[in-house]
Amino acid sequence: MRLSLEGRTALVTGSTQGIGAAIAAGLARAGARVAVNGRTEASVTKAAEQLRAEVEGADVIPLAADVATEEGARAVTERLSTVDILVNNLGIFGATPPLEITDEEWRRYFEVNVLAAVRLTRAYLPGMMTRGWGRIQYIASDSAVVIPAEMIQYGVSKTALLGVSRGFAKAAAGSGVTVNAVIAGPTHTGGVEEFVYQLVDRNLPWDEAQREFMRRHRPQSLLQRLIEPEEIANMVVYLSSPQASATTGAAVRVDGGYVDSIVP
């Protein structure tokens, strides 16, 4: 199966590192013109240079803006008026005891993890529907289904994304635009390494710390290891392709079997 996205323009939010950077690289390898997004010029410039070095001939658009704000989202849409593939990857996470999560923190998680994606969907979905083709994806999490006790504010924000995805898929019904959520399981990124060390002994070597984390905090994983960002990206590239034209309104799992369910 050859997945070609030649002639398509993609925007991946929060794509200067981790899963977002892997998604941007995967889309570029498939031939898409890719907009790399982050909050600072320095981080975006560095990520764009790395992407060009990693993918020969990559057509990269650096877009520095905080899309978790109305001003940042407006700056992105003014710079990039037309998008064929929108991957709402931006997200924050962190461990906080449930009874210590403040109103301010709840609002921050909703602004960054949910409203940022909603704003960009509102901006780009109408044009996709008019053109009769488009792909919108939301990077959700196993935490949307299996709410973790140590970060319920994160889990609830990702649950909201599943609802947002399904709702916008209905809004796009019959238009040729597909809208899906990707349920990513525990994934190996720099941010996750720091999170792991919040929960296990910081003096442990990484491989041992990872095993201890999975054993104690994610024992239901069938993969029994952290997922690599490229494995998430592979699913995103497929869902962005013409071959995925009949998949919409779905919550597609790349979770290593973490969610104990036989229904997606």
Q: What is the pLDDT of residues 56-96, one digit of tens each?
A: 999 999 999 999 999 999 999 999 999 999 999 999 998 89
Whether 195 has a pLDDT exceeding 90, the answer reads no
Contacts of 28 (CB under 8 A, 6+ apart): 34, 51, 55, 58, 59, 60
Whether 189 has a pLDDT exceeding 90, the answer reads no
CB atoms within 10 A of CB 261: 11
Q: How far apart are CA 242 and CA 262, in angstroms?
A: 27
Residue 138: the pLDDT is 98
Q: Which of 109, 124, 154, 258 is catalytic?
A: 154
- Is the distance from CB of 224 to CB of 186 less than 8 angstroms? no
Pairing mode, strands 9-12 and 60-64: unpaired
* Highest mean predicted confidence (pLDDT) among 21-30, 91-100, 223-232: 21-30
Report the topology of domain 9-187+227-254: Rossmann fold (3.40.50)
Query: What integer is the mean pLDDT of 229-234?
Result: 98
Place of tokens 């029994």: 224
Q: Could you tell me the pLDDT band of residue 182, with boundaries at 50, 70 and 90?
A: very high
Place of tokens 């570029």: 28
Residue 35: the pLDDT is 98
26-53 residue pLDDT tens: 999 999 999 999 999 999 999 999 999 9
216-241 burial, b at 16+ Cβ within 10 Å, e below that, comes to ebbeebeeeebbebebbbbbbbbbbb
* Domain spans of the chain, in order of start: 9-187+227-254
167-180 residue pLDDT tens: 999 999 999 999 99
Decide: residue 154, CB within 10 A, 0-12 exposed, 13-18 middle, 19+ buried.
buried
Residue 183: the pLDDT is 98
CA 245 to chain centre: 20
Residue 171: the pLDDT is 98
Residue 218: the pLDDT is 86
154 is known as an active-site residue = yes
Residue 236: the pLDDT is 98
The mean predicted confidence, pLDDT, of the chain is 96
Q: Could you tell me the pLDDT band of residue 1, with boundaries at 50, 70 and 90?
A: confident
Residue 77: the pLDDT is 98
Residue 263: the pLDDT is 81
Q: Could you tell me the pLDDT band of residue 228, with boundaries at 50, 70 and 90?
A: very high
